[in-house]
Amino acid sequence: MKKKIAILGSTGSIGTQTLEVIAEHPELFEVETLTAKNRVEELIHQAIRFQPNCVVIADESHYQRLKDALSDHPVKVFAGYEAISQAATLPSVDMVVTGMIGFSGLIPTVKAIEAGKPVALANKETLVVAGELVTNLIKKHQVPLLPIDSEHSAIFQCLQGESLAAVEKLILTASGGPFRTKTAEELLHVSRNDALAHPSWNMGATITVNSATMMNKGMEVIEARWLFGIPADRIDVVVHPQSIIHSMVQFADGAIKAQMGAPDMRLPIQYALAYPHRLPTNHSRLDFAKLASLTFEKPDLTKFPLLSIAYQVLQKGGNTPCVMNAANEVAVTAFLEGRIRYTDIFHRVDKALSKMSFIPHPTLQDLQDTHKETFTKALTDRG
């Protein structure tokens, strides 16, 4: 039988590439649910093509436009964030792909886990903000949590057939983004377009800026800690500009396994959807004879201080990763809108962390309150 997929955030880069994978294997997968924040025209186009059971638009002002456009199709139409969680837990859903960006992806992911749905996770914030809470839910409900991020998928693949007890360290690779070779002085003057010119990956604007600041890699360190149960002091980051090795695992005997491939997000998406099977694909292949070299270097923490901050909040725990994430969301949006400089992103995050109250073992409600308070304070910060 076909696996019925709910895609949360179907109009984003992960969502659209998930639909490409499904379209390539129509005999194995079908779309059950599509959700989007506010890109109603794209959601209409997707719904007409894939004919899901239901669609949800988070921005309720687009509800009537969506409903009218799909009136001649057998597609149920809903609106609002609560409806996204409900759509993810429908009895007909076999797997949930969480491609939503930001804190908004947390609650639908939690609801899907509580409903016993296997989750293919691309929403970093779920584990960054609520790693302990979510992993406890995963254990309680015995739900598979399959990583879609290329780095975590690489580690997951390297660990197949291995014992976690034999793992010495995880090595996350980073492209270094568009500013790897710039000086600290040059970073004071980079523009929005400079930050969005990623050398390896085609991603959404927010993720691309997070890659430029290396906040993205810091979040991945936090994710890896919860996904694989490995403490922060055994998770390294190495800059690998070619983006051919997606991550590595070093074992107790000194051996290292690396997962390699072309920088194409459809590969980890397909692996998660079909796990434990590998499916054939016509996607690009590596030709080692044409690879000039593979290089590696340590990340420059003076130029990328947000990576250091991520390690610090992981060590402290509690609600501090939630504060970091909320402040970063606001700061990145402000940068993309031209209201602050690139280097101000770090200062805004650091300032928020110094001001917010610490909660050592936050509940889901605590995390929602922390996010809201940090977000509000960061929005009104003019310093």
Q: What's residue 201's pLDDT?
A: 65
Residue 382: per-residue pLDDT: 63
pLDDT recorded at residue 1: 86
Over 70: is that where the pLDDT of 383 sits? no
Q: Which of 187-196, 266-275, 324-333 has the lowest mean pLDDT?
A: 187-196
pLDDT at 93: 98
Does residue 254 surpass a pLDDT of 80?
A: yes
Q: What backbone torsions phi and psi does residue 171 show, to the nearest 5 degrees?
A: -125, 105
Q: Are 349 and 328 in contact (CB under 8 A)?
A: yes
Q: How many of the other CB atoms lie within 10 Å of CB of 186?
A: 12
Domains of the chain: 3-147 (3.40.50.720), 152-263+285-316 (no CATH), 317-383 (1.10.1740.10)
* Of 156-160, 203-207, 299-303, 307-311, the least confident: 203-207
- For 105-133, the pLDDT digits (tens) are 999 999 999 999 999 999 989 999 999 99
The structure tokens listed for 322 are 């939630």
Task: Write down the mean pLDDT value for the chain.
Answer: 95
b/e burial code for range 236-263 (CB count within 10 A of at least 16 → b): ebbbbbbbbbbbbbbbeeeeebbbebeb
If you average pLDDT over residues 365-383, what whole number do you get? 89
What is the tens place of the pLDDT at every residue in 206-221? 888 999 999 999 999 9
Contacts of 182 (CB under 8 A, 6+ apart): 190, 303
Q: Using alpha carbons, select from 175, 186, 187, 224 the residue that is nearest to residue 347.
A: 187
Work out the average pLDDT over 92-107: 94
Task: Tell me what the mean pLDDT of segment 367-381 comes to.
Answer: 92
Q: For residue 145, what pLDDT is reported? A: 97
Report pLDDT digits (tens) over 3-17: 999 999 999 999 999
pLDDT > 90: percent of the chain: 89
Angle of helix 106-114 relative to helix 81-88, nearest 10 degrees? 30
How does 121-130 read in b/e, with b if 16+ C-beta sit within 10 Å? bbbbbbbbbb
pLDDT digits (tens, 9 = 90+) for 15-26: 999 999 999 999
* Residue 320 CB contacts under 8 Å (≥ 6 apart), including other chains: 313, 353, 356, 358
CA distance 158 to 68: 48
In this prediction, what percent of the chain has a pLDDT beyond 70? 98
- Could you tell me the pLDDT band of residue 227, with boundaries at 50, 70 and 90? very high
* pLDDT confidence band for 360 (50 / 70 / 90): very high
3-state secondary structure of 305: helix
Exposure on the CB side of residue 336, measured as CA atoms within 13 A: 17
Whether the per-residue pLDDT at 192 is higher than 70: the answer is: yes
Render pLDDT for 32-67 as a digit per residue (tens, 0 to 9): 999 999 999 999 999 999 999 999 999 999 999 999
3-state secondary structure 179-241: CCCCCHHHHCCCCHHHHCCCCCCCCCHHHHHHHHHCHHHHHHHHHHHHHHCCCHHHEEEEECC
